[in-house]
Amino acid sequence: MAERERIPFGLDAETLLDVMSTCWRAHDGQWFLKVAAERGLEEAMRQNERAIASVARIELRELRRAAGIGALDTVAEVAEWYRLALLMFGGLRRPQVRVTAQDDDTLLVESEQCFGEPIAEQSGYGHLAPGDYPPCRGWLERQRAWGEGLSDRYRFTVTREPQAGQPCRYVVRRAPR
C-alpha cells in the first residue's frame, strides 16, 4: 500500500476538516448572497434549497461508498450520519448539537443556539424568524433529501419542532416504505 501523502503546512486532519468546512460555508454563503442580490431573497432561497437537496444526495452516496455501507436502516446508524455531517459542515467550532435516539423510530437533533441566526444577522436577513433564515431552510431541505435516500426499506421524515430554549430542534422519524 502506498504511503499516505502528508498534509502540507503540517496541518492535522482535524484542522484541515475545520478549514474545509469553514471554506465550504463561506462559498455557500457567498453564492447565496450573490443570487439574492441579483434575483431577490425568495428566489435565492428557492434555488438554495434545490441545490442543497441535490448535494445532499451526493453526500449520502459518497459516504456510503467510502464506508462500504449499503443503507442506513436504523436510527442509531442515522444518528452516526448526523454526527459525521455536523463535523463535515460545522467543523470543530460548530455550535453544540445533541443527536439522540429517542426510540427505534425517532431521532432528536437539538441545539440551544440557532446556527442560522448569526449568519442571517451578518447577511442582512435578521428580520426573519428562526427556521425562516436561509441557512435554516437549507438545513431542513438537506435533512429531507437525506431522509429519502438513507434506506430502501425506510423513509426518514424530518420536521422542525422548536421548544422553549431550543430554537433548532428537529425530529427525524422512521417509517417503513
Confidence of residue 17 (pLDDT cuts 50, 70, 90): confident
Predicted local distance difference test score (pLDDT) of residue 1: 47
Q: Sketch the domain layout of the chain as residue ranges.
A: 12-176
Q: For 45-76, write each residue's pLDDT tens digit.
A: 999 999 999 999 999 999 889 888 889 999 99
- Percent of the chain scored above 90 by pLDDT? 57
Task: Count the neighbouring beta carbons within 10 Å of the beta carbon of residue 90.
Answer: 17
Give dist(CA 99, CA 88) in Å, integer.
15
Superfamily of the domain at 12-176: Trafficking protein particle complex subunit 3 (3.30.1380.20)
Residue 172, amino acid: V
Predicted local distance difference test score (pLDDT) of residue 116: 86
Highest mean pLDDT among 13-22, 82-91, 164-173: 164-173
Reading the block at residue 115, the C-alpha cell is 446556527
Contacts of 46 (CB under 8 A, 6+ apart): none
Residue 4, amino acid: R
Q: For 105-158, write each residue's pLDDT tens digit.
A: 999 999 878 888 888 898 888 999 989 999 999 999 999 999 999 999 999 999
Q: What is the mean pLDDT of residues 6-24?
A: 85
